[in-house]
Amino acid sequence: MRLLGIEVRHFRCIKNERLEFGDLTTLVGANGAGKSAFLRALNHFYEGPGGISREDFYNRDATKPIEITVTYGALGDEEREAFNKYVDDDVLKVVLRVTWLTPEDGGEGSAGSSYHGWIRQHKPFQDVRAVATAPDRVAALRNLVEDKPELYGFTPESAWIRAQV
């Protein structure tokens, strides 16, 4: 498994930036440009957010969560099998989401965190994608749209699949 990149949101001086890694990656920039912030974000991803304080939130605004998304590629068979539902085109994305917990939230002025796998698909479409034949897939899509037309903004009669498969 190879680290391909990191995306950081609302952490220290980084509002929303992405850093991609090659075989050899160097960080060059002026003081205060965010080099150390990227490295600290990566460290928090692996070590956990135990050392995160309120000052680590972008612009000290703890109402918006810190999100650190790490992207991996060149997955081995073991990783591909373990994270199967999160793998898309041999790429795995994992998000660390850190929120500031106040006494009103049940916290004591500390960071709370959770890890999430990145799934690049709409869950209700999983049943449609799982169908093997094209006619059955069209029928599954029609059923999905008929069951929840308000979600998709149309009815089968107004924007239904006109292509005959």
For residue range 133-158, list pLDDT tens digits in order: 888 888 888 888 777 766 666 554 44
Burial 44-56 (b: 16+ CB within 10 A, else e): bbeeebeebeeeb
* Structural domain of 144: 125-159
Residues 90 and 111 in one domain: yes
Residues 59 and 134 in one domain: no
Give the pLDDT of residue 152.
63
pLDDT-derived band at 38, boundaries 50, 70, 90 = very high
Residues 99 and 77 in one domain: yes
pLDDT higher than threshold 90 for residue 101: no
Residues 67 and 30 in one domain: yes
Domain assignment present for residue 63? The answer is: yes
Mean local confidence (pLDDT), 8-21: 97
Mean pLDDT highest for which of 4-8, 86-90, 125-129?
A: 4-8
Residues 112 and 130 in one domain: no
pLDDT-derived band at 42, boundaries 50, 70, 90 = very high
Q: Give the residue, 88 or 19, on which the prediction is more confident.
A: 19
Q: Count of domains in the chain?
A: 2
Residues 75 and 45 in one domain: yes
Q: Which residues 6+ apart lie within 8 Å of 79 measured at CB?
A: 1, 72, 92
Residues 25 and 102 in one domain: yes
Residues 22 and 94 in one domain: yes
Residues 111 and 129 in one domain: no
Domain assignment present for residue 46? The answer is: yes
Mean pLDDT highest for which of 71-85, 102-116, 119-133?
A: 71-85
Mean local confidence (pLDDT), 86-98: 92
Q: Give the residue, 148 or 47, on which the prediction is more confident.
A: 47
Distance CA 109, CA 55 (A): 12
Residues 35 and 106 in one domain: yes
Domain assignment present for residue 164? The answer is: no
Which of 117, 136, 151 is the last residue in one of the domains?
117
Residues 113 and 131 in one domain: no
Residues 97 and 143 in one domain: no
